[in-house]
Structure 1
């Protein structure tokens, strides 16, 4: 398996993988996800990440990983945070080691950049992703809870 750091010429492949992630994950699990965003805005967005030294954009067979260093947070001033912002491995390459190689490359980059706090977010309903990230050494830290009916149903009921 080959993991490579994205160059500007790789942006179309990065956009295609991100678009597939939007459709496969967010589009199935988040009713507000704009699955058309990568096609409209993705090229400029991902091209800027490829050029940004505080970002890591990787490609591997059938997938990608985007990592980012976050600026210091005044509430956690000693945390140097690296965020695994986006990752996808195409279904035909899952369980091949591609995901583990992408994460290992990201963790190496985070270590090289003195990160001492490394995070990833996943949909609670994406049990496969949660299991995968746990196997890579991630553990639950924060939990975001969302009201199942949302505020709009309450407002509609009042009218």
Structure 2
């Protein structure tokens, strides 16, 4: 399993994986998700992330998946928390349960710790039981609960 940091020339592959995540996860679990956003706005967004030293963009093997993380500095309400946010992760369906997700998360956790993060967070759709179970298996635990009403 090869996991590597994205370079500017990797943005198209990162964008393809992110667009697939929008369609597969957001499009399935969120009726308000704009699944066309990556095609319209994604190139500039992900190119900016690749260049941002406070962000981490990873690719796993050829087309196996991606991870996007970012570092958030302490705010006045939680001055002791240096938080690394796992913003986005996808593993291609044919590569799931082969260690790809674990390799991506392990690389993210190492990157976060090297930068002084003492808290790592991720959000997943509550109805995506496999994602929630995966993140729990990697040591994440519930902290906040978002409740929604339509």
User: TM-score scaled to structure 2, two decimals?
Assistant: 0.97
Aligned to 1:118: 120
Task: List 4+ stretches of structure 1 deviating above 3 A.
Answer: none
Instruction: Report matched runs for 1:16-27 at 5 Å.
Output: 16-27=16-27
1:95 to 97, 118, 123: 97
Q: Is the 8 Å Cα contact of residues 57 and 67 (structure 2) preserved in structure 1? A: yes
Query: Structure 1 residue 135 and structure 2 residue 145: aligned?
Result: no
Aligned to 1:66: 68
Q: Cα distance, 1:71 vs. partner?
A: 2.8
SS in 2 for 1:119: strand
Q: Is the 8 Å Cα contact of residues 73 and 81 (structure 2) preserved in structure 1? A: no
Aligned to 1:41: 41
Q: Which has the larger radius of gyration?
A: 1
In the aligned structure 1, how far is the partner of 2:12 from the partner of 2:6?
10
In the aligned structure 1, how far is the partner of 2:121 from the partner of 2:27?
22
SS in 1 for 2:88: strand
Q: Deviations over 1:2-59 (max 9, x none)?
A: 0000000000000000000000000001011000000110000000000000000000
Aligned to 2:55: 55
| Structure 1: gaps of 5 or more residues | 151-159
| Structure 2: gaps of 5 or more residues | none
RMSD of aligned Cα (Å): 0.6
User: TM-score scaled to structure 1, two decimals?
Assistant: 0.92
SS in 2 for 1:83: strand
